Amino acid sequence: MTYLKFDKRQLINLNYSLEREFIRSNRAGSYASSTITYCNTRKYHGLLVCPLEDLDGEKHVLLSGIDETIIQHEQEFHIGSRKYPGVYNPLGHKYIRDFHSNPIPTHYYRVGGVVLKKEILLAQDEERILLRYTLEDAHSETRIRFQPFLAFRQIHKLNKANMYVNSKYEEISSGIRMKLYNGYPFLYMQVSKNAEYTHAPDWYYNVEYAEEQKRGYDYKEDLFANGYFETSIKKGESVIFSAGTTEADPKALKRKFTNEVKKRVPRISYENNLENSAQQFYVRKGKKLYVTAGYPWFGIWGRDTFISLTGLSLSRKDSKSTKTVLDTMVQELRGGLFPNLGIGSSADVNSVDAPLWFVWSVQKYVYDLGSFAKIWTTYGQNIRAILNAYREGTTYGIKMRSNGLIYSGVQGKALTWMDALVHGKPVTPRIGFDVEINALWYNAVMFALEVAKKARDYDFIAEWKDYPELIKKSFIDTFWTEKRGYLADYVDDEMQNWDVRPNQVIAASLPYIMIDDEMRRKILRVVKKELLTPKGLRTLSPKNEKYVGVYEGGQEERDSAYHQGTVWPWLLGHFVEAYLNLYGKEGIAFVEKIFYSFEEDMTSAGIGTISEIYDGNPPHHPRGAISQAWSVAEVLRIKCLLTKCKNKVD
């Protein structure tokens, strides 16, 4: 069965097909991405995009794309596609007859009597892209030509024609190797059978990326084509083109391709696609395992890692990956804080909530295993360091006040997940007592006491046992009012902010909460009425004068809308958890509608995955990154919450 499938009518309609992209990543941190017609519309698109640790640690586009040409009777049919000012050239999309993505992206082209199948596969544990071309049908002698287009630049930048490019190449087994600039690795381009290579270096000017133009960025790039490979191909024969940062054995490419396909999870259902997508966010570096926040432009983010981890791994019964990620990330803990963006000495440690989400992810890991054995020994020191740092005070004004609540923030910084900046100023600064931070704080203290009790750490218990009651009383006094029936979003020394935002659902969803059932019912009623959409929770009620319902325009316009009405799927996990905890079996039918509302997204934006954000206004168009870790993770977690609730009913 083929689940992700597009027909000729859809594929040749560029208004339709250019808005649908595929993404494939591997454990080495590389990815391949383009539209379903292979016409790149983003600077982030490319067939081989690799992290280059020895250069700058960022991802770099090495191979932007390949133009293929089918040759019969001395006639050439170009099946590639690029956009130049005012024109698409070549017009390869008009030859596409079918596309599916089970288990790997597969295109069928028809040129006269020729039917060519093209499959793309990213090797699992190395920086290598493999493209397999199979001649399904032909009635006369056929040749195929491969013309690589090279970029050799960082993903956030664009290439311009220059005099520094190195066009020299070296012959290797069934191919060549070359690198455009010093500091880069060689790119090894090889064919699985004897192919003639013609060196014809040239620049192709003003390739346009429509999505970058929409986003207000520079959108024109010059790409370098070194030459082309050409070989004959017979009916029923397969030829593989390989591009990687190490040399391959051409004779083993067919076997390697077949073996790699066998490792792929079939994409034959909605749930199956979610599970497949979840695996793509893991990046292994030696014995360490990280989570990439999203594709194509996100890196390793502490907050996103801990929020995503439960859904990505535990929902797939992969507790081993959970622990490996936790063990990897604890090495990044400094002064009681985790990095918000990046890892190592250059990381930005400016997140007030990442450490508390770490405790939550450990908590979920423990509850999923059903065992507390060795948890305090393994993570107790880290949890104590976090709690002590928050109590005694750490950077960015993060400190527990005398009322037991956490106050955080300094001018010019945004420390919570609502961290968009415009002209260097936070759109939603939220300096003071933040509702979700203090909900997470209470949960962390309670969980620490729970584990310490089982570990018989009586000194810790004696030190912290009186805090929960103080925190709970102060939380209710600070954030709740019966008149409004929902929680304030944040409170500073002068005022309570009563903007209706989704952060309060976290205070209603955690394992340890400070509100009673009646409060939770009222909160969920307000959130459901003003924030809930089929694609997630709005970040601000449409009734608010600051609400922005569409996420579009230049960077300033988009950042201004990011947390002022834009919809985020990840928040649904906490809404659903709170809802099912309150209503039990009565809430199952309602939550199932939420879960299945994303099935239609499997064939839009990033196919087979879930986008970062959506417009606040209907029809809630997908926006942002085409595949986001916590979006996929929390939808998977909703599935688990449903299963758990149903099992209780049964």
Residues 537 and 310: their CA atoms lie apart, in Å, by: 20
Predicted local confidence at residue 96, as pLDDT: 96
Could you tell me the CA-to-CA distances from 14 to 40, 43, 122, 195, 211 in Å, in that order?
Answer: 12, 18, 25, 33, 13
Q: Is 243 helix (H, G, I), strand (E, B) or coil?
A: strand
Cβ atoms of 498 and 489 closer than 8 Å:
yes
Predicted local confidence at residue 600, as pLDDT: 96
Q: Which residue has the tokens 């020994």?
A: 377
Predicted local confidence at residue 484, as pLDDT: 96
Cβ atoms of 415 and 352 closer than 8 Å:
yes
HEC string of 323-379?
A: HHHHHHHHHHCECCECCCECCCCCCECCCCCHHHHHHHHHHHHHHHHCCCCCHHHHH
Q: Angle, to 10 degrees, between the axis of helix 435-455 and the axis of helix 354-369?
A: 40
In order of their start, the domains of the chain are: 5-262 (2.70.98), 270-649 (1.50.10.10)
Sign of CA dihedral 585, 590, 594, 596: positive
Predicted local confidence at residue 1, as pLDDT: 43
Mean pLDDT of the chain: 96
Helix (H) or strand (E) run with residue 187 in it? strand 187-191
Number of H helices, E strands in the chain: 18, 38
Could you tell me the CA-to-CA distances from 535 to 478, 526, 616 in Å, in that order?
Answer: 31, 17, 9
Give the Cα-Cα-Cα angle 324, 436, 454 (nearest 5 degrees).
50
Tokens at residue 259, please? 């073996």
Residues 123 and 628: their CA atoms lie apart, in Å, by: 21
Q: 493: burial class by Cβ within 10 Å (0-12, 13-18, 19+)?
A: exposed
Tokens at residue 554, please? 């230049």
Q: Quick one: how far is CA 1 from the chain centroid?
A: 27
Per-residue DSSP letters for 425-481? EESS---BEEHHHHHHHHHHHHHHHHHHHHHT-HHHHHHHTTHHHHHHHHHHHHHEE
Main-chain dihedrals φ then ψ at residue 150, nearest 5 degrees: -105, 145
How many residues can be counted in the chain? Answer: 650
> Which residue type, as a one-letter code, is found at position 11?
L
Residues 105 and 2: their CA atoms lie apart, in Å, by: 11
Q: Where are the beta strands (DSSP E) in 209-316?
A: 220-232, 238-244, 282-285, 288-291, 294-295
The CA dihedral of 397, 388, 421, 56, to the nearest 10 degrees, is 120
Predicted local confidence at residue 593, as pLDDT: 98
- Which pLDDT tens digit goes with each residue over 511-533? 999 999 999 999 999 999 999 99
Per-residue DSSP letters for 73-112? TTEEEE--EEEETTEEEEEGGGGEEEEE-SSS-EEEEEET
Q: With b meaning 16 or more CB within 10 Å and e meaning fewer, what string describes 237-260?
A: ebbbbbbbbeebebeebbebbeeb
Q: Is 306 helix (H, G, I), strand (E, B) or coil?
A: helix
Q: 619: burial class by Cβ within 10 Å (0-12, 13-18, 19+)?
A: exposed
Tokens at residue 183, please? 């500091």
Residues 221 and 11: their CA atoms lie apart, in Å, by: 25
Residues 611 and 607: their CA atoms lie apart, in Å, by: 9
Sign of CA dihedral 20, 264, 229, 179: positive
Task: Single out the residue of 114, 107, 108 nearest to residue 72, CA to CA.
Answer: 114
Residues 185 and 183: their CA atoms lie apart, in Å, by: 7
| Helix, strand, coil share of the chain (percent; to 5) | 35, 30, 35
The β-bridge relationship of strands 20-25 and 605-606 is parallel
Q: With b meaning 16 or more CB within 10 Å and e meaning fewer, what string describes 538-558?
A: bbbbeebeebbbebeeeeebb
List the chain residues with pLDDT less than 50: 1
The β-bridge relationship of strands 567-568 and 496-497 is unpaired
Predicted local confidence at residue 316, as pLDDT: 86
Give the Cα-Cα-Cα angle 434, 435, 437 (nearest 5 degrees).
65
